[in-house]
């Protein structure tokens, strides 16, 4: 598909030399001067466009060429293709003065639109946009037969106000409000005779035109909307379509209730059953739909409020029209888009004027009942849910059913639809605060909500990083942690679920993982024996248990999926989510929860799916947050001492999870002391000491047959330091540890260690051992250095000389013989 020729063409366009370029410009200038608009000109202009747009550095066109291009653009006689080319070149090339474009003289609709595209791209000030808007609206205001209203007036205005809403003055805004009412509500409901029907106010044709149809072929039941079809359209019908297309934006920008001023207008809302006749506000047709019958004329309302009223009616009509079964698929898709837009606009209107809520809800409720069973309309249900969220309280309507469907069934059935998943997640993000505060079902549904993430992690992970704090509650925190750790499992199981649904059971031999005795994951998915496990992973709501006992078995069954790209991608997003989790939970966790979290850390660090790098990355996260948790709740070392020592006492853990192990040992050394927990006794310290001493002894045994150490030097130094710390708190242990440490030298000199560790590392071990031994010769100093008081974390060293470590150190080093070093590592 993508050819090498394209690359070389781009290169040529970028590297064309100046001489050739000047010649080329000259040639085009000449062609334009001679008004030669044949194929050669078109070709040259196409190449010129490529030349100016191929480079990101911009090309300055000579002023005479610019002038000719502007003239070409602004001349109504130019063909559309030439206008396209000239406007695109003027947009890309530099520089351009918008002031030179004769906007005021433009009459022709098409030319105006192309010139506007250049102005919108190059305008440097609001004044330039204001001038453009002014010109467009003048034609709208004048209503003369020979003055053509630019068809793209509304899109241009919409683009202009995007840059800054105050481009339009208030009277222009009111003018547009009035015109929008005319176009939306009172457009002709007859088919246009032909495409060439020009002018905005042509009189009725001699032959009776046919009426518009609905999308299912029936005659149109009420006023014209974008869901009406006909052979061709009149100008005001085109404006109807453009008006609806920019209505939402317009209302969001200008339909804002001011507290002062227009408040008085609200009171004068007079209801008439019979509308006044006006050349633009007749009620067409004898067939009346519900909308026209119940509409109020609202002739006395100010333009803004009148637009609101008519916009509301338009939306109601669209909702009605969407119930018809469209003949063409494109129209079915349009119906869905119209529903989304209509409900959203009604939501905006109701926010500005709550009195609309009572009129809107019957319509929205009926729409919901119609669509709730049909998953094809799932994306429409999101704006409906938003409406309920915003207004159900005002109207005292029960929204339970809507949200139950949203949180309980959508994620389970539609997790693999990327567009729905994205919009669903945006819905949650937008309404996060409200959902967290007033909808318990939201927080309870996290197992379901995680399904979107598991299926499409790369696209959704940044959204979930924002959502996760809102899903975290004290009662379900542990279950959520387990769910995050098993996110790759969830991805695998969802994949199995989909595959299982699409392949018949008889084809199961295809999935047999050749020759192995264990069932393949797909087979296992279908077996009743394992059903419970899979059902747990696929559960829609939290609360049935933090995790399952047979997790190891589940991981084993899913072993054939550990290399599936989806599972691997999912596993790569888990560490960052864990970071968010721990940062959030640290803000509200009480001591009990922290203890539970530490237990989960210890337990799950080796109970994870065997995906490449997954265990290592998770352990890294665990290690850093273990320390944070210890800092928050130092007593946890005491309270969980049994589990921690079980972990620290087993050398297998060194080889399987060294990082976490090292941090556990360090934490024990740091926090197992009287200053952090009054319940700490000599027995506790001694038993910890003995456990760690045994481990250090085992791993540093110097034997001829010993293999190279499979642990890093850092582990050795941390163990040594921890033992020294413990010894400093129970001074009977000092001789033992000193003796031990003095043997470290021979450890570092042994052959396997020399082969494995660098010289720096070995020296570091020896130096550390030496320092610790020296330090322990002065037990009181050792205690001071190795067990800083709890208030050491918030040092007042510069203020309180008694607690000042540097001063103490300096004093001591002055008193003691020079050859002792006091560098604490």
Ranges within 580-619 binding other proteins (CB under 8 A): none
Q: Which of residues 22-51 bind other proteins (CB under 8 A)?
A: 45-47, 49-50
Q: Which long-range contacts (CB under 8 A, 24 or more apart) does 88-91 make?
A: 88/49, 88/53, 89/45, 89/48, 89/49, 89/52, 89/61, 90/66, 90/118, 90/122, 91/117, 91/118, 91/121, 91/122
Tokens of residue 630, six digits: 């210890």
Residue closer to other proteins, measured from CB, 7 or 323: 7
Distance of CA 81 to the CA centre of its chain: 40
| Nearest-approach distance from CB 562 to other proteins, in angstroms | 14
Contact (CB, 8 A) for 139 and 149: yes
Q: Which of residues 251-280 bind other proteins (CB under 8 A)?
A: 252
- 404 scored as a contact of other proteins (CB under 8 A): no
Binding mask 731-770 for other proteins (x = CB under 8 A): ----------------------------------------
Among 101, 123, 696, 744, binds other proteins (CB under 8 A): 123
What whole-number distance in Å separates Cα of residue 622 and Cα of residue 634?
Answer: 16
Residue closer to other proteins, measured from CB, 569 or 653: 569
Among 22, 202, 219, 419, binds other proteins (CB under 8 A): 419
Among 254, 422, 511, 822, binds other proteins (CB under 8 A): 422
Among 28, 69, 73, 85, binds other proteins (CB under 8 A): 85
Tell the residue number behind the tokens 């067939």, with chain if given: 287
Half-sphere exposure of 310 (CA within 13 A, CB side): 29
Contact (CB, 8 A) for 444 and 541: yes
Tokens of residue 611, six digits: 């995906």
| Nearest-approach distance from CB 539 to other proteins, in angstroms | 23
What whole-number distance in Å separates Cα of residue 231 and Cα of residue 188?
Answer: 14
What whole-number distance in Å separates Cα of residue 666 and Cα of residue 661?
Answer: 9
- 502 scored as a contact of other proteins (CB under 8 A): no
| Nearest-approach distance from CB 721 to other proteins, in angstroms | 43
Binding mask 52-81 for other proteins (x = CB under 8 A): -xx-xxx--------------------xxx
* Contact region with other proteins (CB under 8 A), list: 63-71, 160-168, 467-475, 650-658: 160-168
- 88 scored as a contact of other proteins (CB under 8 A): yes
Binding-residue total with other proteins (CB under 8 A): 95
What whole-number distance in Å separates Cα of residue 327 and Cα of residue 452?
Answer: 33
Beta carbons within 8 Å of 615's beta carbon, 6+ residues apart: 605, 606, 608, 657
Residue closer to other proteins, measured from CB, 199 or 735: 199
| Nearest-approach distance from CB 326 to other proteins, in angstroms | 9
* Contact region with other proteins (CB under 8 A), list: 82-90, 443-451, 754-762, 791-799: 82-90
Q: Which of residues 365-394 bind other proteins (CB under 8 A)?
A: 379
- 3 scored as a contact of other proteins (CB under 8 A): yes
Residue closer to other proteins, measured from CB, 11 or 592: 11
- 163 scored as a contact of other proteins (CB under 8 A): yes
DSSP state of 504: -
- 564 scored as a contact of other proteins (CB under 8 A): yes
* Contact region with other proteins (CB under 8 A), list: 224-232, 297-305, 439-447, 474-482: 224-232
Q: For the packed helices 779-786 and 805-815, what is the interaxial angle rounded to 10 degrees?
A: 150
Among 84, 607, 674, 778, binds other proteins (CB under 8 A): 84
- 241 scored as a contact of other proteins (CB under 8 A): yes
| Nearest-approach distance from CB 271 to other proteins, in angstroms | 30
Contact (CB, 8 A) for 345 and 248: yes
- 116 scored as a contact of other proteins (CB under 8 A): yes
| Nearest-approach distance from CB 454 to other proteins, in angstroms | 11
- Which H helix or E strand runs over 213? strand 213-214
Contact (CB, 8 A) for 720 and 741: yes
Longest dimension (CA), the chain: 119
Among 565, 806, 814, 817, binds other proteins (CB under 8 A): 565
Among 63, 144, 197, 232, binds other proteins (CB under 8 A): 232
DSSP state of 613: T
Residue closer to other proteins, measured from CB, 232 or 394: 232
| Burial of 14: CB neighbours in 10 Å, binned 0-12, 13-18, 19+ | middle
Beta carbons within 8 Å of 441's beta carbon, 6+ residues apart: 403, 404, 407, 408
| Nearest-approach distance from CB 455 to other proteins, in angstroms | 8
- Of the candidates 110, 73, 109, the one whose C-alpha atom is nearest the C-alpha of residue 91 is 73
| Nearest-approach distance from CB 144 to other proteins, in angstroms | 24
Phi, psi values for residue 214, rounded to 5°: -85, 175
Contact (CB, 8 A) for 379 and 420: yes
Contact (CB, 8 A) for 342 and 247: no
Q: Which of residues 174-203 bind other proteins (CB under 8 A)?
A: 195
- 156 scored as a contact of other proteins (CB under 8 A): yes
Residue closer to other proteins, measured from CB, 94 or 202: 94
Q: Which of residues 440-459 bind other proteins (CB under 8 A)?
A: 456, 458-459
What whole-number distance in Å separates Cα of residue 587 and Cα of residue 27?
Answer: 71
Among 41, 70, 111, 113, binds other proteins (CB under 8 A): 113
- 475 scored as a contact of other proteins (CB under 8 A): no
What whole-number distance in Å separates Cα of residue 442 and Cα of residue 120?
Answer: 44
Among 164, 197, 742, 820, binds other proteins (CB under 8 A): 164
Q: Which long-range contacts (CB under 8 A, 24 or more apart) does 551-556 make?
A: 551/486, 551/607, 552/607, 554/489, 554/530, 555/489, 555/607, 555/608, 555/609, 555/610, 556/518
- 229 scored as a contact of other proteins (CB under 8 A): yes
Contact (CB, 8 A) for 247 and 264: no
Q: Which of residues 623-682 bind other proteins (CB under 8 A)?
A: none
Among 186, 233, 671, 689, binds other proteins (CB under 8 A): 233
- What DSSP assignment string belongs to 323-358? TS--SSHHHHHHHHHHHHHHHHHHHHHHHH-GGGHH
Contact (CB, 8 A) for 94 and 60: yes
Tell the residue number behind the tokens 């890309």, with chain if given: 92
| Nearest-approach distance from CB 579 to other proteins, in angstroms | 18
Binding mask 302-341 for other proteins (x = CB under 8 A): --------------------------x-xx-xx-xxx-xx
- 152 scored as a contact of other proteins (CB under 8 A): yes
Tokens of residue 725, six digits: 């710390």
- 162 scored as a contact of other proteins (CB under 8 A): yes
- 217 scored as a contact of other proteins (CB under 8 A): no
* Contact region with other proteins (CB under 8 A), list: 245-253, 641-649, 659-667, 751-759: 245-253
| Nearest-approach distance from CB 62 to other proteins, in angstroms | 16
Contact (CB, 8 A) for 609 and 489: yes
| Nearest-approach distance from CB 490 to other proteins, in angstroms | 14
Distance of CA 292 to the CA centre of its chain: 41
Tokens of residue 476, six digits: 């379900």
* Signed CA dihedral, 389, 395, 398, 402: sign only: negative
- 124 scored as a contact of other proteins (CB under 8 A): yes
Residue closer to other proteins, measured from CB, 463 or 617: 463
| Nearest-approach distance from CB 450 to other proteins, in angstroms | 16
């Amino acid at each position: 598909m993508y050819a090498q020729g394209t690359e070389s063409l781009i290169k040529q366009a970028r590297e064309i030399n100046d001489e050739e370029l000047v010649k080329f410009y000259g040639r085009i200038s000449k062609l334009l001067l001679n008004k030669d608009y044949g194929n050669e000109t078109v070709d040259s202009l196409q190449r010129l466009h490529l030349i100016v747009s191929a480079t990101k550095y911009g090309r300055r066109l000579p002023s005479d060429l610019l002038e000719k291009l502007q003239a070409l653009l602004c001349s109504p006689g130019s063909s559309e293709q030439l206008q396209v080319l000239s406007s695109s070149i003027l947009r890309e090339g530099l520089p351009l003065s918008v002031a030179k474009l004769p906007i005021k003289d433009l009459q022709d609709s098409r030319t105006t639109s192309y010139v506007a595209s250049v102005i919108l791209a190059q305008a440097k000030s609001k004044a330039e946009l204001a001038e453009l808007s002014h010109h467009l609206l003048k034609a709208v205001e004048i209503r003369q037969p020979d003055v053509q209203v630019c068809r793209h007036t509304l899109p241009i205005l919409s683009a202009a106000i995007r840059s800054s809403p105050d481009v339009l003055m208030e009277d222009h805004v009111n003018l547009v409000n009035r015109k929008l009412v005319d176009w939306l509500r009172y457009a002709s409901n007859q088919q246009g005779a032909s495409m060439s029907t020009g002018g905005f106010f042509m009189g009725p044709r001699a032959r009776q035109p046919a009426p518009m149809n609905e999308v299912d072929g029936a005659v149109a039941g009420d006023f014209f909307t974008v869901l009406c079809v006909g052979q061709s359209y009149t100008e005001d019908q085109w404006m109807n379509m453009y008006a609806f297309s920019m209505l939402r934006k317009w209302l969001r920008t200008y339909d804002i209730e001011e507290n002062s001023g227009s408040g008085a207008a609200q009171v004068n809302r007079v209801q008439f059953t019979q509308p006044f006749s006006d050349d633009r506000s007749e009620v067409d047709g004898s067939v009346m739909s519900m909308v026209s019958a119940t509409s109020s004329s609202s002739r006395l309302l100010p333009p803004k409020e009148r637009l609101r009223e008519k916009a509301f009616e338009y939306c109601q009509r669209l909702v009605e029209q969407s119930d018809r079964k469209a003949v063409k698929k494109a129209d079915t898709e349009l119906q869905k888009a119209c529903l989304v837009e209509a409900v959203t606009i009604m939501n905006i209107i109701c926010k500005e004027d709550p009195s609309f809520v009572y009129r809107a809800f019957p319509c929205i409720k009926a729409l919901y009942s119609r669509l709730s069973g049909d998953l094809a309309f799932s994306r429409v249900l999101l704006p409906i849910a938003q409406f309920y969220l915003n207004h159900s309280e005002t109207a005292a309507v029960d929204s339970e059913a809507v949200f139950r469907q949203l949180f309980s069934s959508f994620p389970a059935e539609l997790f693999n639809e990327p567009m729905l998943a994205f919009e669903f997640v945006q819905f949650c993000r937008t309404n996060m605060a409200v959902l967290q505060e007033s909808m318990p079902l939201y927080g309870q549904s996290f197992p379901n909500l995680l399904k979107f993430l598991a299926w499409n992690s790369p696209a959704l992970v940044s959204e979930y990083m924002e959502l996760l704090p809102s899903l975290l509650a004290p009662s379900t925190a542990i279950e959520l942690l387990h769910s995050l750790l098993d996110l790759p499992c969830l991805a695998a199981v969802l994949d199995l679920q989909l595959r299982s649904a699409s392949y018949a059971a008889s084809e199961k031999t295809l999935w047999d993982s050749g020759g192995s005795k264990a069932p393949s994951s797909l087979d296992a998915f279908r077996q009743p024996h394992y059903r419970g496990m899979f059902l747990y992973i696929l559960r829609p709501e939290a609360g049935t248990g933090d995790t399952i006992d047979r997790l190891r078995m589940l991981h084993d069954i899913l072993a054939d999926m550990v290399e599936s790209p989806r599972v691997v991608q999912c596993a790569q997003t888990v560490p960052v989510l864990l970071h968010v989790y721990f940062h959030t939970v640290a803000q509200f966790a009480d001591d009990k929860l922290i203890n539970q979290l530490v237990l989960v850390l210890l337990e799950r660090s080796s109970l994870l799916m065997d995906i490449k790098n997954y265990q290592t990355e998770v352990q890294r996260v665990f290690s850093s947050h273990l320390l944070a948790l210890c800092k928050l709740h130092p007593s946890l070392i005491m309270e969980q001492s049994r589990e921690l020592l079980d972990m620290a006492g087993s050398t297998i853990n060194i080889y399987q999870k060294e990082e976490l192990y090292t941090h556990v040992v360090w934490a024990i050394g740091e926090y197992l002391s009287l200053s952090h927990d009054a319940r700490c006794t000599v027995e506790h310290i001694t038993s910890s000491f003995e456990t760690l001493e045994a481990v250090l002894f085992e791993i540093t045994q110097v034997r001829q047959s010993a293999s190279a150490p499979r642990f890093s030097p850092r582990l050795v130094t941390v163990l040594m330091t921890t033992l020294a710390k413990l010894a400093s708190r129970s001074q009977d242990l000092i001789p033992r540890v000193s003796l031990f440490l003095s043997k470290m030298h021979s450890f570092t000199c042994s052959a396997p260690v020399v082969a494995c560790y660098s010289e720096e590392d070995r020296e570091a071990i020896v130096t550390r051992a030496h320092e610790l031994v020296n330090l322990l010769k002065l037990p009181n100093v050792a205690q001071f250095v190795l067990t800083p008081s709890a208030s050491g974390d918030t040092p007042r060293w510069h203020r309180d000389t008694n607690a000042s470590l540097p001063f103490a150190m300096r004093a001591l080093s002055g008193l003691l013989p020079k050859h002792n070093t006091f560098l604490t590592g």
